[in-house]
């Protein structure tokens, strides 16, 4: 039942169905102010990533050894690192890496998960059985360990970290889509489409896909936070983004840990950036679910 779509709901609850999904989201945000806070956080991060060259006061790669490890001041609000690079500028540019990796990884993982989920849910039978066992097998390996193993094989860099994260996302997503497809198939209009001889592709794309977009978007938004966290963890462990590119996880491990007693700001600010981003995406995912889950909506 969790996947009854907006369009179909018109038959059951016409007074609710006239509200658009964007409006539902806005209503949910008004009911839960934390949702609005999360949206504001996300806007801030996206803004930072897009306008990094304008917002960053210094070049993130420019070194100034004479002011190395200087404490936060008016000129350098987040201080400088061990070779005199401005930490604030690096954090602003770091948003680009985090967001880029997060969006692409979740995009690839969601798209692949969706195709597998649609195929399994629609065909059922043997195809479903085989794919689901493979998904079980992938899920048997903890996400971080699997991502680590993939990156180690592919060579550590940002693109490969992104691919590894996408790979980790696929099984969970395919499960959710499969479930949504199975329940969407029970709808009478799907049966009717089959009865009048619609082609499979048309049934899948035209009648089933619209039913599964809401759960996919919700799960993707929750995964975005996780993807950013995994990228930061991989970079922290030295197998993600490589120096000198500014990545939050890398900043924390390369300089944050080495100089933590002398210059604690090197550990505090990148970690804060990761936490706020993850917090924002998690909370936004919750808000989306509250707004778009038909069960919660009817209450």
Least separation in angstroms between residue 153's CB and other proteins is 6
Least separation in angstroms between residue 196's CB and other proteins is 36
For other proteins, which is the closer residue by CB, 216 or 283?
A: 283
Binding residues among 138-177 for other proteins as defined by CB under 8 A: 138, 140-146, 148-154
> Within 10 A of 37 (CB to CB), how many other CB atoms are there?
16
For other proteins, which is the closer residue by CB, 153 or 201?
A: 153
Which residues have C-beta within 8 Å of that of residue 195, sequence separation ≥ 6?
A: none
Binding residues among 115-144 for other proteins as defined by CB under 8 A: 133-134, 136-138, 140-144
For other proteins, which is the closer residue by CB, 43 or 149?
A: 149
Alpha-carbon distances of 116 from 18, 135, 138, 171, 177, rounded to whole Å: 32, 10, 14, 9, 8
Least separation in angstroms between residue 36's CB and other proteins is 16
Contact criterion met (CB below 8 Å) for 259 and 275:
no
* Separation of alpha carbons 102 and 105, rounded Å: 5
* Separation of alpha carbons 118 and 255, rounded Å: 45
For other proteins, which is the closer residue by CB, 25 or 143?
A: 143
50 binds other proteins (CB under 8 A): no
Q: Residue ranges of the alpha helices (H) in the chain?
A: 9-12, 14-17, 21-31, 33-50, 52-55, 87-123, 125-139, 143-154, 158-185, 188-195, 200-202, 209-236, 248-251, 265-292, 294-298
Number of chain residues interacting with other proteins (CB under 8 A) = 46
For other proteins, which is the closer residue by CB, 212 or 278?
A: 278
Which residues have C-beta within 8 Å of that of residue 121, sequence separation ≥ 6?
A: 128, 177, 178, 179, 180, 181, 182, 184, 185, 208
- 């619609």: which residue's tokens? 198
Alpha-carbon distances of 169 from 1, 104, 139, 210, 211, rounded to whole Å: 24, 12, 9, 21, 21
Least separation in angstroms between residue 173's CB and other proteins is 17
Least separation in angstroms between residue 143's CB and other proteins is 7
- Binding other proteins by CB under 8 A: which of 60, 246, 249, 285? 249
Least separation in angstroms between residue 218's CB and other proteins is 17
Binding mask 260-289 for other proteins (x = CB under 8 A): xx--x--xx-xx--xxx-xx--xx------
- Binding other proteins by CB under 8 A: which of 26, 61, 217, 237? 237
Which residues of this protein are in contact with other proteins, per CB under 8 A?
A: 133-134, 136-138, 140-146, 148-154, 225, 229, 232-233, 236-239, 249, 252-253, 256-257, 260-261, 264, 267-268, 270-271, 274-276, 278-279, 282-283
């Amino acid at each position: 039942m969790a996947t009854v779509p907006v369009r179909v709901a018109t038959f059951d609850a016409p007074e609710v169905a006239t509200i658009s999904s964007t409006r539902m989201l806005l209503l949910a945000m008004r009911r839960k102010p934390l949702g609005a806070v999360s949206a504001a956080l996300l806007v801030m991060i996206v803004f930072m990533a897009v306008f990094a060259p304008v917002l960053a006061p210094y070049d993130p790669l420019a070194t100034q050894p004479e002011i190395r490890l200087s404490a936060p001041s008016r000129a350098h609000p987040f201080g400088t690192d061990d070779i005199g690079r401005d930490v604030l500028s690096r954090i602003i540019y770091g948003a680009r890496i985090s967001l880029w990796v997060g969006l692409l990884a979740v995009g690839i993982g969601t798209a692949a998960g969706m195709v597998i989920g649609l195929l399994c849910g629609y065909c059922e039978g043997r195809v479903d059985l085989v794919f689901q066992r493979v998904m079980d097998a992938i899920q048997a390996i903890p996400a971080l360990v699997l991502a680590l193993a993939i990156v180690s094989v592919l060579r550590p860099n940002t693109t490969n970290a992104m691919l590894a994260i996408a790979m980790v996302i696929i099984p969970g997503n395919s499960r959710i889509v499969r479930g949504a497809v199975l329940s969407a198939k029970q709808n009478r209009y799907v049966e009717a489409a089959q009865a009048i001889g619609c082609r499979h592709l048309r049934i899948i794309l035209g009648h089933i896909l619209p039913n599964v977009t809401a759960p996919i978007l919700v799960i993707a938004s929750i995964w975005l936070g996780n993807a950013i966290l995994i990228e930061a963890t991989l970079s922290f462990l030295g197998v993600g983004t490589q120096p000198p590119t500014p990545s939050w996880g890398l900043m924390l491990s390369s300089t944050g840990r080495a100089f933590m007693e002398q210059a604690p700001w090197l550990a505090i600010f990148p970690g804060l950036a990761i936490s706020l981003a993850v917090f924002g995406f998690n909370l936004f995912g919750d808000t989306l679910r509250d707004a778009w889950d038909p069960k919660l909506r009817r209450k």
